[in-house]
Chains A and B, each alone.
Chain A
Amino acid sequence: MPNFFSDNSDILFQLNRLDLKEIVNVLEDNYNESKNYNYAPVNFDDAMENYRKTLEIIGDIAGNYIAPRATDVDHEGAHHIDGKVQYAKGTKENLDRLAKADMMGLVIPRKYGGLNFPFTIYLVATEIVSRADASLMNLFGLQDIADILYKFGTEDQKEEFIPKFTTGEYLGAMALTEPDAGSDLQAVKLQAYQNDEGKWFLRGVKRFITNGNAEVLLVLARSESGTKDGRGLSMFACYGDKTVKVRRIENKLGIHGSPTCELQFNDTPAQLIGSRKFGLIKYVFELMFRARMGVSAQALGISQMAFEEALSYAKDRVQFGKSIYSIPAVSNILIDMKVTLESNRTLFYNTGWWVDKKDSLELLIERYKKEGKSTTDLVNELKYTTKIANLLTPISKFITTESANKITYDSLQIHGGTGYMKEFRVERLARDARITNIYEGTSQMQIVSAISGVIHDVLKEYFDKKEVKEYSGSFAVLANHLKEIRIIFNDSLKYVMDKKDTNFQDVSAKELVELYTFIYTGYLLLDEAESNSRKRFIANRYIINSLANARKNAETIKNETYSDLLHLDEIVK
């Protein structure tokens, strides 16, 4: 009877550390809703208890219902039959189970049938689901669509769509990618046009659409004919009716349970969401940032499962007369995996907290405006918070998804030849992990997204504060390492900026983002280590490794390796 929430001491640790009080107080607005909804909390402690109890339910479903079906879902996959998409049997059962448990509208307000939880709690749920079956997360995570409709739709649109999302009757899809518009969404061509009565219709093709067979689709389309860039794009909602044809579904390396569709919109009636021309620059931006956090949670869930598989296999497997768990070369890999997993989790949930903080400030500002109160201070705080959330989100996505690949790789390595066989879970995990650093923006795109915040040293204030803090004993040594990494970072950044060569800056961005991440994650871990003796080991290895990697990154930047980009043609010939 494994419970994927309560058996995960690190998630419990993170949940205990997260200071959600202010965020929940704003979200629950004086806990007023407890008068109208018997499931609304009456105070902060009650809210936290609700979160825990709900996560216990999803942990139970994940451990005892979803995980046992994951292998069959992977083997069976989704199918395309007579123009319709059919989920694997287990996928259908899982979705039904999650809906019955009220899990399909975690962050949606109660008015529309949701649970009104903070985003971070939704992320914990997402990690738990992904650990059981990564492909299910792609469908579970589509509650983001309802969230976007809630944030930007009209009241009529909210009433029309959202309640059916929260009951699980509707699933959504987010239709952005096209054959010629992948990372470069400005190139989207799908046409949106109006008839004489001003009604909107969609015409064109979308590709690689997760769950494209959904009941409701959010579609990015060109509403301003003649335009070529992002400013001509708007966001639309439409039903997946007979005018939306699923032309095919992809045959993929992993996440077989999640259907990836090619769609043809044949004059599909649609509704404009929000304002015209803001489709890409506002709504997709918001949607993608949330989805990136979802994919990070997916990567963490996969990593957790891969680590557990490696650990239990290593303990059981006897070679040379002993369990390979105690063979140093293997033990060391296990430690590396665990340190990576936990340090990523720390960074990730901290990022979730900043996103929640940003949401709650937005909510508060809206409330203050209604009450006619001054919002100047809040607006300044929001600006600062948004900068941090927008920096940490792509960083988390980059780090957790690259790590998921490494952790599943190591897990398979520990299994040896056995891990290469279909009989063991780890080969599925390795395949499932592979997409996480590609979709919702490749790692390279995450770096592009993060680099501006890094160059502008968005966390400067935070680092300055940490540097004057007194750490005792061995923590002081680690704190000094972090100071050194910061020096290395500043030095490397100056070197890159001084060159005034955009190509060089582009290619060095990865090293710079990594350097910056080392410092931030390092301080988070150092603080955790102060309150928990086991976490000392995590902080110690993370920071010492980071110092070595920081030196390497600086070397890479400064030794001009990248000047050979000028000789590309010659080298790759």
Chain B
Amino acid sequence: MYNSIVLVKQVPDTANISGKVMKDDGTVNRAKLPAIFNHEDKIALEFALQVKDKFGGKVTAVTMGPPRAADVLRECLYMGADEAYCVTDRKFAGADTLATSYVLSEAIKKIGNYDFVFAGRQAIDGDTAQVGPQTAEKLNIPQITYAEEILDIKDGKIKIRRKIDGGFEIVECRLPVLITVLKGAAEPRPFSAKRVMAFKNAKSLMEIEKLVEGNSLLYADDLLQEYKSRKLFIETLTTDDLDVDLERCGIKGSPTKVHKVESVVLAGGNHIKIEPTRDGISGLIDSLMEDRIF
């Protein structure tokens, strides 16, 4: 039996961009983009579910984000996660990778009892690939990045094939360990119809509070108890629930500042004729190397 925690993120669908989505301050205007489940995180969840299928144990999905990020947690439940945690608070907003990994590591400590932390290699909005490794550092556990396949788990150790430049390497590591996975490493399973029907009404604390706001006949505490008893409560962690230093959270704890955003338009330019001779080809290779293309 192995317990896994999976870090997932709701990201803007950068593959379907229309209109102006970058704000002048260099941050993404998320409202302009449809929100989706970061694909590599889905693969991370698939890894965790495969571990569970094979060895038993529990899979817990965790996301940090605005209240609507609970959408991806419901999707985790649809795929097979046993529990979901929504880490959300206005004070967490505007976090860079440093502040994000700090809060996530505190959430993971709070959840506890894990053998694996799985995460996607990177999210398609920031493309930094830093949150996984930084979280491992803060948890003080080893990490294996760029995982392609779990080869074996036994005697408290895991053997993994990971991608490296020009090939792969096989590494072994003691548990607990944080693992980031690459796209293509597995095919995320489809939603199970039964689980969708069972968890379609699962709600986080903020979502339950929202229901109460719109209806004077409802009381938050009663409703919360009802959701909990029907196992439809998405655990919610705010600054009140975590032992965090607020100076290290959100925009306050984020040293990364976007200096400038430039819109690069890719367009064709001049044509150069290369003669099919030895000199011609050498010249081409030289100029490609100069431009660092080759």
Contact = CB atoms under 8 A, between A and B. Distances in A.
Contact of A100 (B190, B196, B198): B190
Interface stretch (A52-60, A138-146, A435-443, A460-468): A52-60
A38 B193 CA distance: 12
Q: Which of B189, B194, B231 has the most CB of A within 10 A?
A: B194
Nearest to A64: B190
Contacts of A100: 189-190, 192
Interface in B184-202: 189-198, 200
Nearest to A54: B193
Nearest to A61: B190
Nearest to A49: B200
A54 B190 contact: no
A128 interface: no
B198 A101 contact: no
A39 B193 CA distance: 9
A50 interface: yes
A49 B197 CA distance: 8
A103 B193 CA distance: 7
Nearest to B199: A38
B200 A102 contact: no
Given A38-B231, A100-B189, A101-B190, A54 B198 contact: no
A474 to B, nearest CB: 40
A422 to B, nearest CB: 28
A115 B189 CA distance: 19
Nearest to B78: A57
A205 to B, nearest CB: 39
Nearest to B190: A101
A141 to B, nearest CB: 17
Nearest to B232: A38
Interface in B172-191: 189-191
Q: Which of A38, A40, A97, A103 has the most CB of B within 10 A?
A: A38
A50 to B, nearest CB: 5
B238 to A, nearest CB: 27
A158 B194 CA distance: 21
B128 to A, nearest CB: 25
Q: Interface extent on A, as a size class?
A: 10 to 19
B76 to A, nearest CB: 15
Nearest to B80: A100
B196 A57 contact: yes
Contacts of A53: 193, 196-197, 200
B194 A102 contact: yes
Contact of B190 (A41, A97, A115): A97
A57 B193 contact: yes
Nearest to B16: A1
B107 to A, nearest CB: 26
B196 A60 contact: no
Nearest to B15: A1
A54 B193 CA distance: 5
A61 to B, nearest CB: 6
Contacts of A41: 197
Nearest to B13: A1
Nearest to A110: B194
B196 A54 contact: yes
B198 A115 contact: no
A101 B197 contact: no
A54 B191 CA distance: 9
B234 to A, nearest CB: 15
Interface string A357-391: 00000000000000000000000000000000000
Contacts of B190: 57, 60-61, 65, 97, 100-101
A352 to B, nearest CB: 19
Contacts of A57: 190-191, 193, 196
Contact of B193 (A65, A97, A115): A115
A39 B191 contact: no
B124 to A, nearest CB: 15
A128 to B, nearest CB: 13
Nearest to A55: B193
Contacts of B197: 38-41, 50, 53-54, 115
Contacts of A115: 193-194, 197
Contacts of A97: 190
B18 to A, nearest CB: 15
A295 B192 CA distance: 26
Interface in B32-89: none
A327 B151 CA distance: 60
Contacts of A49: 200
A543 to B, nearest CB: 39
A53 B195 CA distance: 11
Contacts of B192: 100-102
A65 B193 CA distance: 16
A339 B196 CA distance: 35
Interface string A93-109: 00001001111000000
Given A38-B198, A39-B194, A115-B193, 19 more contacts: A38-B197, A39-B195, A50-B196, A53-B193, A54-B193, A54-B197, A57-B190, A57-B191, A57-B193, A60-B190, A60-B191, A65-B190, A97-B190, A100-B190, A101-B193, A102-B192, A102-B193, A102-B194, A103-B193
21 contacts: A38-B197, A38-B231, A39-B193, A49-B200, A50-B196, A50-B200, A53-B193, A54-B193, A54-B196, A54-B197, A57-B191, A60-B190, A61-B190, A100-B189, A100-B190, A100-B192, A101-B191, A101-B193, A102-B194, A103-B193, A115-B193
Interface of B: 189-198, 200, 231
